[in-house]
């Protein structure tokens, strides 16, 4: 664009329409366009967050006047509430174990799908299905599959000779945790798989060709090309998944809801149980805020790692 044409056009512009100068300057218009989104986020996210902080230091309960009680809720939870302490442990186990499995399975899926074979697109669509379907509804199906007396999972494993007796899925704490982990991995692995696949597909083929010329084996290629190139996707997927799993409510609530004997509660379901079913809003708010430091650390850690790249 040279100055001559610019000069020629300027008068035409002025003639054509009266401009509102305010809406053409970047800053005011920028803020204006941001306003609706910010309004909703501040009103229903930031503001409630501070209310939550306040709730957790009151004895708020249904139908009572809230009074400031300092850290009494937290002190009570950490010193007296065995279910709470178990739920912290459960939350960590649930998150750590499922993340490892989803990571491994996701990588496996991505490498598998990154090859040409018949019905490739159908397979990809089918594998992503658990991630699309409402968690609550698919978890209900799993709950039925793990039914104490009519478990089809048990029927399959006894009839194929994998085990002599079926597992009493919701009967022991370990089996209950295992069932939650199985369903979570079933639901979450596709997200890893498809994201990694997208990551794989933009790795330049030349890298592999060069490696092959240099005599690298397939495993070498995986460790030295695939994994490093996937690093950014890997980090973001891990971050999102860790956070969502750590704060997961739907799946544990529908599948076990603490059974047996409140042994399989995670922080989210225990906060719900205390606040909504037990009526102690303040205690519930304190329990769910226990999630916050861990979530912040995970977020900060991955943000720093991403900046690094």
Partner 1 sequence: MALLSGLRQLSPAQPGPASPTARGGTAPVSSGVNGVGVIRGRRERPRGHDIGDTAIGRWVRIYIPVWTLVLVTLFPFYWMFITSFKSPSELLDFSRSPLFVIHPTLDHYRHLLTQTHFGRWSLNTTIVAVVSTGISLVCSILAGYSLARFRYRGANAIGWGIFVTYLVPPTLLFLPLAVVIKELHLFNNLWSLILTYPTFLIPFSTWLLIGYFKSIPRELEESALVDGATRLQTMVRIVIPLAIPGILSAGMFAFTLSWNEFLYSLIFMNDTVAKTISVGVTSELIRGDEFFWGELMAASLLGSLPVALLYSFFVDRFVAGLTAGAVKG
Task: Pick out residues in 31-70 that bind partner 1 (CB under 8 A).
Answer: 31, 33-34, 36-38, 40-41, 43-52, 55
Do residues 158 and 164 touch, judged by C-beta distance below 8 A?
A: yes
Q: Which is nearer to partner 1, 177 or 255 (CB)?
A: 255
In the three-class reduction of DSSP (H, G, I as helix; E, B as strand; rest coil), residue 81 is classed as coil
Minimum distance between the CB of residue 276 and partner 1, rounded to whole angstroms? Answer: 7
Minimum distance between the CB of residue 256 and partner 1, rounded to whole angstroms? Answer: 13
From 83, 181, 236, 259, residue interacting with partner 1 (rule: CB under 8 A): 236
Which ranges constitute the DSSP H helices of 42-134? 47-55, 72-80, 82-113, 120-132
Minimum distance between the CB of residue 63 and partner 1, rounded to whole angstroms? Answer: 12
Place of tokens 């800053």: 27
DSSP 43: I
From 2, 3, 7, 23, residue interacting with partner 1 (rule: CB under 8 A): 23
- CA proximity to 97, closest of 291, 266, 279: 266
Q: How far apart are CA 63 and CA 1, in angstroms?
A: 70
How many residues at the interface with partner 1, by CB under 8 A?
121
Q: Which stretch binds partner 1 (CB under 8 A): 71-79, 82-90, 127-135, 168-176?
A: 127-135
- CA proximity to 257, closest of 309, 180, 200, 142: 180
From 174, 212, 220, 224, residue interacting with partner 1 (rule: CB under 8 A): 212
Q: How far apart are CA 239 and CA 241, in angstroms?
A: 6
Q: Which stretch binds partner 1 (CB under 8 A): 71-79, 80-88, 95-103, 269-277?
A: 269-277
Tell me the C-alpha to C-alpha distance, in Å, between residue 267 and each of 67, 193, 255, 262. 24, 27, 15, 12
From 65, 205, 214, 261, residue interacting with partner 1 (rule: CB under 8 A): 205
128 is an interface residue for partner 1 by CB under 8 A = yes
Q: Which stretch binds partner 1 (CB under 8 A): 73-81, 93-101, 173-181, 186-194?
A: 186-194
- CA proximity to 57, closest of 65, 66, 49: 66
Q: Which stretch binds partner 1 (CB under 8 A): 74-82, 96-104, 172-180, 239-247?
A: 239-247
122 is an interface residue for partner 1 by CB under 8 A = yes
């Amino acid at each position: 664009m040279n100055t001559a044409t610019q000069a020629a056009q300027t008068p035409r512009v002025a003639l054509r329409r009266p401009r509102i100068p305010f809406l053409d300057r970047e800053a005011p218009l920028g803020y204006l366009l941001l306003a609706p989104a910010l309004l909703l986020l501040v009103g229903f996210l930031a503001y409630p967050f501070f209310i939550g902080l306040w709730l957790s230091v009151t004895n708020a309960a249904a139908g009572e006047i809230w009074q400031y009680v300092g850290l009494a809720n937290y002190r009570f939870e950490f010193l007296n509430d065995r279910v709470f302490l178990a739920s912290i442990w459960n939350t960590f186990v649930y998150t750590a174990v499922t993340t490892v499995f989803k990571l491994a399975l996701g990588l496996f899926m991505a490498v598998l799908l990154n090859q040409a074979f018949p019905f490739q697109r159908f397979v990809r669509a089918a594998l992503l299905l658990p991630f699309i379907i409402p968690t609550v509804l698919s978890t209900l199906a799993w709950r039925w599959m793990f039914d104490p007396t009519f478990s089809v999972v048990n029927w399959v494993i006894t009839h194929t000779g994998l085990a002599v007796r079926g597992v009493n899925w919701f009967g022991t704490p370990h089996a209950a945790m295992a069932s939650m982990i199985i369903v979570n991995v079933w639901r979450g692995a596709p997200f890893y798989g498809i994201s990694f696949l997208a990551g794989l597909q933009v790795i330049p083929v030349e890298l592999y060709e060069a490696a092959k010329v240099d005599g690298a084996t397939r495993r070498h290629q995986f460790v030295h090309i695939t994994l490093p190139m996937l690093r950014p996707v890997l980090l973001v997927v891990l971050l999102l998944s860790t956070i969502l799993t750590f704060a997961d409510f739907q799946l544990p609530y529908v599948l076990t809801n603490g059974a047996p004997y409140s042994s399989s509660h995670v922080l989210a379901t225990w906060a719900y149980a205390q606040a909504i079913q037990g009526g102690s809003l303040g205690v519930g708010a304190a329990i769910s805020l226990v999630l916050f430091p861990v979530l912040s650390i995970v977020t900060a850690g991955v943000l720093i790692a991403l900046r690094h790249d």
